[in-house]
Chain A
Amino acid sequence: MSDIHALEQEFRREYAAGRHPDAAAFLERVPEEQREELGRRIREVLAEEPPPDPAPETLLMVQAMLRGEPPLLQLRASRGMSRDEVVSQLRDELDIEPAKEQRVAVYYHELETGQLPLAGIRDRVFDAVAKVMGVARASLMLQGPERSADGAGQPVFARAEPGAEVSLDMLAATPGERDEVDDLFTGGPG
């Protein structure tokens, strides 16, 4: 139990200092039977402590989202990065072979334009996108299709960066077995 108290205090310090502690990573540090209690204490911290001042990038993404524009696209534009640069760095971060870069590009396009269901994206992808974009993972604003009542996705955003059109047929151009790229972007949580 003392470990839980120490972890709670550590989370509080990190959170108050704006260092973006990850609640799930904290839960991983205690045995399973203690996770519920630690989670409850983390929520106490979140309820008690004032939210950290948002980073300028977060505000930028929020404003884009509220205008109905893809937040990730806005963030990339503010970084002055081309989509190809991002895709190339993302492929590196995800340790995917160069020959599959075009497939990463297709998935990234879907991610950036809010067409890719968030629930299917692996943790590694969120981490990699955040790193490439230079923001904290928790601050990253990715917009997935809004789920309808029956759980089926409907695209929220239709607008993409002019001149950045990607043929979605490229996904169909690689029929056959699912590979690591499919798994990273659509393989499910975790």
Chain B
Amino acid sequence: MRKETTSTARLPGNDHDLDSVVAEYWEPVLQWIRSTGRVRGGEAEEVRQEVFLRVTREIRSGMQYRLPIGAAIYRITNWTLQGYVASAAGRRERERPVGDTPVDEPVDHGAQVAIDQVGQDEAVEELFRRLHGQESRLMTLHYLEGLELSEVAEAMGITANNAHQIHHRAKKRIHQWLVEEAT
């Protein structure tokens, strides 16, 4: 059972909150990266550093994440890892002697650019669109419209308890997609 994590939408953005977020997810993010088997040793450390440089920069600049903070950090981790792997492949390709490009090793030079161009709002909205009926509406009202769950329940004509259950199911489904996205 996942504990309710604080969304940065509710964080004032000071370093005290940032301390807790970074410290809590510092180890899980490394394990997330290592579980993919796509980078090893110090490379995984480098990806982790990039993830938290970005998270730190975004929270300090007042970024309002639209996902629960854990889900947002894992999503950033997936993007960072994809970019890192693509960038490493590009570096290897640039360092390869001319005329020595194997045909069975695709190099995705465009991946980093594509990842950088993914707007966070669009990405989150796309995730919420993939949810079904009530889950989609609840997550949109809660994270994109900023309503408290009790207010969402009232808007949707459901009980607060029901809203919490739908919220939990939707988060679990999104986490599942993030897990699959990393493979």
Contact = CB atoms under 8 A, between A and B. Distances in A.
Interface residues of B, number: 47
Interface residues of A, number: 52
B26 A118 contact: no
A40 B179 contact: yes
B46 A118 contact: yes
A20 B30 CA distance: 11
Contacts of B172: 48
B51 interface: no
A151 to B, nearest CB: 5
Contacts of A121: 41-42, 45
A85 to B, nearest CB: 24
Interface in A50-84: 50-54, 58-59, 62-63, 65-66
Contacts, number: 148
Interface stretch (A94-102, A137-145, A163-171, A173-181): A137-145
A162 interface: no
Interface stretch (B14-22, B100-108, B133-141, B153-161): B14-22
Most chain A CB inside 10 Å of its own CB: which residue of B15, B37, B42, B87: B42
Interface of B: 1-3, 5, 15, 18-19, 22-28, 30-32, 34-37, 39-46, 49-50, 52-53, 56, 70-71, 74, 87, 91, 172, 175-176, 178-180, 182-183
Given A38-B35, A51-B25, A66-B18, 13 more contacts: A36-B183, A39-B35, A42-B31, A43-B35, A44-B175, A46-B74, A54-B23, A63-B15, A66-B22, A119-B42, A143-B49, A144-B49, A189-B41
Interface of A: 15, 20-24, 26-27, 35-36, 38-40, 42-44, 46-54, 58-59, 62-63, 65-66, 117-123, 126, 136, 138-139, 141-144, 146-147, 151, 188-190
